[in-house]
């Protein structure tokens, strides 16, 4: 069986060995940089998730969302009353009562 008794025919010169070592060092440096970037990305992802959670729990955002919803309800009510042909003198009072009701609901949620 000559398959296992093969002799190494390629001779490694010092020039090739130095080139191989330089490439290996460069490869190691690049791998270290990749690992550092992976750590940075994971830290930034966790910080982004933390800030997103804080923003979603923020009372300011909740209040803004509820106020926007209240204004949307007022606008829809105005459009509906206009379509039904409600006289403008009654429409103002109805919308004012609705606005006060929405305002009181928003104030009640804060407490």
User: Is the model's pLDDT at 22 over the cut of 80?
Assistant: yes
pLDDT recorded at residue 9:
64
Residue 2 has pLDDT above 80, yes or no: no
- Model pTM? 0.44
Give the Cβ contact number of residue 2 at 10 Å. Answer: 5
Q: Give me the percent of the chain exceeding a pLDDT of 70.
A: 87
Q: DSSP state, 11?
A: P
**In the structure encoding, which two tokens stand for residue 108, read together?**
């009640």
Residue 34 pLDDT > 70: yes
Helix, strand, coil fractions of the chain, as percent rounded to 5: 85, 0, 15
16: pLDDT strictly greater than 60: yes
């Amino acid at each position: 069986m000559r398959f296992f008794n093969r002799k190494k025919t390629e001779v490694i010169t010092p020039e090739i060995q130095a080139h191989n070592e330089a490439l290996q060092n460069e490869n190691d440096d690049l791998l270290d940089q990749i690992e550092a970037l992976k750590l940075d990305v994971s830290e930034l992802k966790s910080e982004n998730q933390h800030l997103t959670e804080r923003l979603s729990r923020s009372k300011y955002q909740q209040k803004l969302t509820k106020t926007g919803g209240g204004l949307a309800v007022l606008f829809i009510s105005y459009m509906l009353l206009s379509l039904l042909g409600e006289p403008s003198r009654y429409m103002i009072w109805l919308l004012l009562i609705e606005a006060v009701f929405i305002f009181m609901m928003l104030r009640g949620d804060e407490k």
